[in-house]
């Protein structure tokens, strides 16, 4: 690893390790039933949609989540609407053009359920869904990686903020919705295609950031200790 | 690295401490003041005792000031506490007058420090009016509410709102506590200090020592609730749960608590608890001094199950402490306990003494499950509720407040 970036060809720029911290904020929107939930989805700041899919990773959470986003978990645990929870859980934001399209998908699936159901499912007043958004602070660690094999040493030492930034948050920044590591490897043409595919196959939805760091480290170790460099 | 922060790297990880340095860099040298109403007793004082020196070690210039009140003032603020937690409470004109006078006097005393600070954190309702008495303030003022105010008693909340609405931001422990206020409302869960006397590892003989010290029976399962003698902690419900469980399994109960200097109602509740515990030789009501941190640590470690059967709970740091010690917790299904006690995974959430009795019996019968839950509980605290995470969020909030409502604050040069 180098402290300073050298001039490289545009495709193989050094990888700048960044870090981030996130702090959650209330939006004032909340829902006690499925109709209010749909209204909340329509009105809330788009940062809240992002937060309930991704930002939650940097929030206190139990490390064995059943569902891939907060919406689905509430729909199941508080409204007891298992089928809708499953339908919302399979939404992968990276499949959509932008967060507004994700919002539309959530609204449509919820509306479908409201249309099918004769009753509007409710929960208790103290079990409402609270739409939350977040502010993210992005920091430069001043550290750079020169070549892909540097990842093997760097990733296990990264903070969970760095893992969040490069492996989760990247999905809304990169063109193809991939993580930053995979995006960086494309700069080496086809050389690291295998590694890229393995990294892209790591499912980030059901793990804590610590576990995710471990999983990415395993992929890198397996790849580089297998004679690749 | 500093002598204060280094040991946290051992517990939470070197990366976690490095992260704090990164985040604090843009805030270096800033003057920060925390104000609350007591240095001893209660979760707020415990958090500040460590948070303040840690911020200082990261290069911020931090002070912790304490408001000095009169008995009338504390009577009034105890009323606020109850009302904010939803208990209908009437406050007389004279009580409110005492509240405002004490605030005006204390603000006057602290004015130079407060007005020149870059950040002022005012904790809970007691010193909330300070902002109005500091017209020449230059920094950002943040009101930190540690109480469960999900359904506050409206008349009292309306009164308090007029004191807190002009702050630059507020902080609540959970989203459901946030209220309609004309400024950003941040959500930060509290934390425990893994290296404090209350949470450090203890030698086995010290843990076993509490059995002799308090006349407990070493061979009888021990259940424990640690909390102030406060109605919202439902100590009477705990005794009821014990009595019901005791019909099926032999066990002993310890209710351990201390008084906080800002809680005038504690003695009355303690009296009721003692009365309910009469004629039960295996119920031990312990009134501990505010600095009995190591004793509480040992009691928590000596217990088989820890209860926190609160009816209302801001967060429940005693739950966090017990979970850190690998104990499954039976907690009231309310407030911050929900964030920590994941039903059937790190403990059980209950809504009645009967529910608590049922879970006590289950956990004593299924020690294997009890151990599994305890291990998960410790992991949950390690990853989410240690002081290092709390500090990280405070630093991120400070950067956030300085940048308004920007969603993404890029500090990359």
Q: Is residue A31 part of a domain?
A: yes
pLDDT tens, position by position, A10-54 = 567 899 999 999 999 999 999 999 999 999 999 999 999 999 998
Give chain A positions within 8 Å (CB) of B316: none
Q: Which of B396, B398, B402, B413 to mutate to test the interface with A (most CBs of A within 10 A)?
A: B396
User: Does residue B331 surpass a pLDDT of 60?
Assistant: yes
CA atoms of B375 and B194, how far apart (whole Å): 16
Q: Check whether A6 has a pLDDT greater than 50.
A: no
Q: Is residue A229 part of a domain?
A: no
How far is Cα A218 from Cα A212, in angstroms, rounded to an integer? Answer: 10
pLDDT, average across residues B203-210: 97
Which residues numbered 94-123 in B keep a CB inside 8 Å of some CB on A? none
Provide the token pair at A42.
């329509």
Please, how many CA atoms are within 13 Å of residue B109, restricted to the half-sphere of its CB? 13
Same domain, A37 and A107: yes
Q: Tell how many helices (H) and how many strands (E) occur in chain B.
A: 15, 13
Q: What domains sit in chain B, N to C, each tagged with a CATH number?
A: 6-191+386-402 (3.40.50.2000), 204-384 (3.40.50.2000)
Q: Distance between alpha carbon B93 and the CA centroid of its chain, in Å?
A: 30
Residue A136 near chain B (CB below 8 Å): yes
Alpha carbon distance B362, B360 (integer Å): 5
- Asked if the structure places residue A125 within a domain, the reply is yes
pLDDT tens, B25-34?
Answer: 999 999 999 9
Per-residue model confidence (pLDDT) at position B227: 92
Q: How confident is the model at residue B304 (pLDDT cuts 50, 70, 90)?
A: very high
Distance CA B268, CA B409 (A): 50
Residues A197 and A214 in one domain: yes
How high does pLDDT run on average in chain A? 89
Q: Where does the pLDDT of residue B260 fall: very low under 50, low under 70, confident under 90, or very high at 90 and above?
A: low
What pLDDT score was predicted for residue B69? 93
Instruction: Give yes or no for a contact between A198 and A223, defined as CB atoms under 8 angstroms apart.
Output: yes
Q: Is B335's pLDDT higher than 70?
A: yes
More confidently predicted of B14 and B274: B274
Whether A53 is in a domain gets the answer yes
Contacts of B280 (CB under 8 A, 6+ apart): B239, B242, B243, B253
Contact (Cβ atoms closer than 8 angstroms) between residue B303 and residue B223: yes
Residue percentage of chain B with pLDDT more than 90: 78
On chain B, the residues whose CB falls within 8 A of the CB of A141 are 22
Q: Tell me the pairing of strands B222-226 and B252-257.
A: parallel
Mean pLDDT in chain B?
A: 93
Q: What is the pLDDT of residues B237-258, one digit of tens each?
A: 999 999 999 999 999 999 999 7
Q: Between chains, do A132 and B187 touch, taking CB under 8 Å as contact?
A: yes
Cβ–Cβ of A140/B413 closer than 8 Å? yes
Look up tokens 């009292």; give the residue: B156
When pLDDT is averaged across residues B374-399 and rounded to a whole number, the result is 93
**pLDDT (0 to 100) of residue B120:** 98
Query: Would you state the pLDDT for residue A2?
Result: 44
Which residues are within 8 A (CB) of B342 and not within 5 positions of it... i.e. 6 or more apart? A62, B376, B380
**Residue scoring higher pLDDT (A176 or A30):** A30
Which of A47, A128, A137 is nearest residue B23 as measured by Cβ atoms?
A137
Test the A interface: residue of B149, B316, B398, B400 with most A CBs within 10 Å: B400
Are the beta carbons of A159 and B18 separated by less than 8 Å? yes
Establish if A4 belongs to a structural domain: no
Which of B184, B385, B399 lies nearest to residue A25, judging by beta carbons? B184
Range from A146-150, A180-184, B146-150 carrying the lowest mean pLDDT:
B146-150
Residue of B nearest to A25 (CA): B186
Residues of B in contact with A153 (CB under 8 A): none
Place of tokens 């070197």: B14
Residue A5 counted as domain residue: no
Q: Are residues A35 and A47 in the same domain?
A: yes
Cβ contact B160:B84 at 8 Å: yes
Structure letter (DSSP) for residue B40: S
Q: Which of A101, A133, A165 is the last residue of a domain?
A: A133
Dig out the tokens for B204 from the structure: 């086995």
Q: From B341, which residue of chain A is nearest by alpha-carbon distance? A: A62
Range(s) of the domain holding residue A155 = 10-20+139-224
Contact, B64 vs B112, CB < 8 A? no
pLDDT of B190 above 90: no
Helix axes A70-77, A46-53, angle to 10 degrees: 80
Domain annotation covers residue A82:
yes
| C-alpha torsion sign, points B383, B384, B385, B389 | positive
As a whole number of angstroms, the distance between CA B189 and CA B207 comes to 29
> What residues in A contact B142, CB-CB < 8 Å?
none
* One domain, residues A28 and A129: yes
Query: Under an 8 A CB cutoff, do A28 and B400 touch?
Result: no
H helices of A98-208, in order, are 99-116, 150-157, 160-163, 170-173, 180-185, 193-200
Are the C-beta atoms of residues B22 and B402 closer than 8 Å to each other? no
Residues A217 and A129 in one domain: no
**Shared-domain flag, residues A117 and A145:** no
Same domain assignment for residues A14 and A55? no
* Contacts A–B by Cβ distance under 8 A: 108
Say yes or no: A45 and A126 in one domain. yes
Which among A72, A101, A133 is the end of a domain? A133
User: Which of A133, A159, A177 marks a domain boundary?
Assistant: A133
Separation of alpha carbons B124 and B390, rounded Å: 17
Does the residue A3 lie in any domain? Answer: no
B372 touches chain A (CB under 8 A): no
Contacts with A138 from chain B: Cβ below 8 Å: 408-412
Is B304 within 8 Å of B370 (Cβ atoms)? yes
Give, as one character, the DSSP assignment of residue A94: G
- Mean pLDDT (whole number) for B119-147: 96
Q: Is A41 helix (H, G, I), strand (E, B) or coil?
A: helix
Residue B345 to chain A, least CA–CA distance (Å):
9
Q: Does residue A40 belong to the interface with chain B, where contact is any CB pair within 8 Å?
A: no
Cite the DSSP H helix spans in B120-164.
154-164
pLDDT tens-place string over residues A120-173: 999 998 889 999 999 999 998 889 999 999 999 999 999 888 999 999 999 888
Does A33 share its domain with A100?
yes
Distance from CA of A116 to the nearest CA of B (A): 30
**DSSP conformation class of B202:** -
Band (pLDDT 50/70/90 cuts) for residue B207 is very high
Burial of A98 (0-12, 13-18, 19+ CB in 10 A): exposed
Assign B354 to helix, strand or coil: helix
Nearest Cα to Cα of residue B50 among B398, B389, B383, B396 = B389
Collapsing DSSP to helix, strand or coil, B298 comes out as helix
What digits encode the pLDDT tens for the residues A102-125? 999 999 999 999 999 889 999 998
In a shared domain, residues A119 and A161: no
pLDDT value of residue A118: 84
Residues A126 and A148 in one domain: no
Closest to B383 (Cβ–Cβ): which among A25, A63, A161?
A63
What phi and psi values does residue B127 have, to the nearest 5 degrees?
Answer: -100, 20
pLDDT band at residue B199 using 50, 70 and 90 as cut-offs: very high
**Chain A residues in contact with B19 (beta carbon < 8 A):** 19, 21, 159-161
**A39 and A120: one domain?**
yes
- Residue A206: predicted pLDDT: 77
Could you give phi then psi for residue B12, rounded to 5 degrees? -95, -20
DSSP annotation string for A140-156: EEEEEE-STTHHHHHHH
Determine, for residues B175 and A130 on separate chains, whether the beta-carbon distance falls below 8 Å: yes
Own/partner pairs for A182-191, CB < 8 Å, 24+ apart? Answer: A184/A15, A184/A148, A185/A148, A186/A11, A187/A11, A187/A12, A187/A13, A188/A11, A188/A12, A188/A148, A189/A11
**Which residue reads 């105010």 in tokens?**
B149
* B408: nearest CB among A19, A138, A208: A138
Query: Distance between terminal CA atoms of chain B?
Result: 24
Please state the pTM of the whole predicted model.
0.87
List the 295-334 stretch of B: residues with Cβ below 8 A of A.
334
CB contact under 8 Å between A137 and B412, yes or no, is no
Domain tally, chain A: 2
Query: How many alpha carbons fall within 13 Å on the CB side of residue B177?
Result: 28
Length of chain A: 229
Q: Is the pLDDT of residue B167 over 60?
A: yes
Task: Answer left, alpha or beta for residue A227, where phi above 0 means left and psi between -120 and 50 means alpha.
Answer: left
Predicted confidence (pLDDT) per residue in B56-92, tens digit:
999 999 999 999 999 999 999 999 999 998 889 999 9
């Amino acid at each position: 690893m180098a402290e300073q970036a050298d001039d490289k060809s545009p495709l193989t720029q050094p990888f700048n390790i960044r870090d981030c911290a996130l702090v959650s904020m209330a939006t004032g929107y909340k829902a006690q039933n499925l109709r209010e939930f749909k209204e909340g989805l329509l009105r809330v700041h788009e940062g809240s949609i992002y937060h309930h899919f991704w930002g939650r990773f940097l929030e206190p959470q139990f490390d064995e989540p059943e569902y891939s986003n907060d919406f689905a978990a509430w729909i199941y645990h508080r409204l007891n609407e298992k089928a809708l929870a499953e339908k919302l859980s399979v939404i992968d934001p990276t499949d959509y053009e932008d967060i507004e399209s994700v919002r539309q998908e959530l609204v449509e699936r919820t509306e479908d359920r409201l249309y099918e159901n004769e009753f509007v499912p409710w929960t208790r007043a103290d079990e409402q869904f609270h739409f939350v958004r977040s502010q993210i602070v992005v920091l430069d660690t001043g550290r750079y990686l020169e070549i892909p094999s540097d990842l093997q040493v760097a990733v296990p030492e990264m903070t969970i903020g760095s893992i969040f930034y490069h492996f989760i948050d990247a999905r809304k920044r990169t063109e193809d919705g991939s993580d930053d590591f995979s995006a960086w490897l494309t700069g080496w043409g086809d050389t690291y295609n295998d590694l890229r595919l393995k990294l892209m196959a790591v499912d980030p939805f059901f793990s804590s950031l610590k576990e995710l760091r471990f999983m990415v480290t395993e992929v890198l170790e397996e790849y580089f200790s297998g004679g690749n460099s | 690295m500093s002598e204060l922060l280094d040991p946290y790297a051992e517990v939470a990880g070197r990366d976690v401490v490095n992260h704090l340095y990164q985040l604090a860099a843009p805030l270096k040298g800033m003057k920060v003041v925390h104000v609350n109403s007591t240095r001893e007793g209660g979760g707020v004082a415990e958090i500040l005792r460590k948070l303040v020196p840690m911020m200082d070690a990261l290069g911020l210039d931090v002070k912790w000031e304490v408001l000095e009140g009169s008995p009338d003032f504390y009577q009034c603020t105890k009323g606020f506490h109850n009302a904010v937690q939803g208990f209908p409470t009437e406050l007389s004109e004279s009580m409110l007058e005492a509240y405002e006078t004490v605030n005006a006097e204390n603000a006057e005393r602290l004015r130079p420090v407060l007005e020149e600070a870059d950040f002022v954190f005012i904790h809970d309702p007691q010193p909330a009016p300070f902002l109005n008495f500091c017209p020449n303030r230059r920094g950002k003022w943040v009101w930190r509410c540690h109480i469960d105010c999900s359904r506050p008693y409206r008349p009292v909340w309306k009164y308090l709102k007029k004191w807190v609405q002009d702050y630059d931001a507020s902080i609540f422990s959970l989203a459901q506590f946030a209220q309609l206020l004309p400024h950003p409302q941040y959500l930060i869960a509290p934390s425990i200090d893994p290296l404090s006397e209350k949470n450090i590892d203890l030698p086995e003989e010290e843990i076993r020592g509490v059995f002799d010290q308090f006349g407990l029976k070493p061979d009888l399962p021990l259940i424990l609730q640690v909390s102030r003698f406060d109605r919202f902690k439902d100590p009477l419900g705990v005794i009821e749960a014990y009595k019901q469980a005791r019909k099926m399994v032999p066990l002993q109960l310890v209710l351990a608590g201390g008084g906080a200097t800002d809680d005038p109602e504690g003695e009355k509740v303690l009296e009721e608890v003692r009365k309910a515990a009469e004629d039960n030789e295996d119920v031990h009501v312990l009134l501990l001094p505010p600095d009995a941190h190591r004793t509480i640590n040992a009691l928590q470690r000596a217990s088989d199950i820890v209860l926190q059967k609160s009816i209302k709970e801001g967060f429940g740091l005693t739950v966090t402490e017990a979970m850190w010690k690998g104990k499954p917790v039976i907690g009231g299904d309310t407030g911050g306990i929900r964030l920590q006690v994941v039903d059937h995974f790190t403990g059980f959430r209950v809504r009645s003494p009967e529910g608590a009795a049922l879970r006590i019996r289950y956990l004593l019968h299924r020690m294997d499950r009890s151990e599994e839950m305890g291990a998960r509980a410790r992991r949950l605290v390690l990853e989410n509720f240690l002081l290092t995470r709390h500090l990280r969020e405070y630093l991120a909030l400070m950067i956030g407040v300085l940048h308004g409502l920007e969603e993404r604050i890029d500090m990359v040069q």
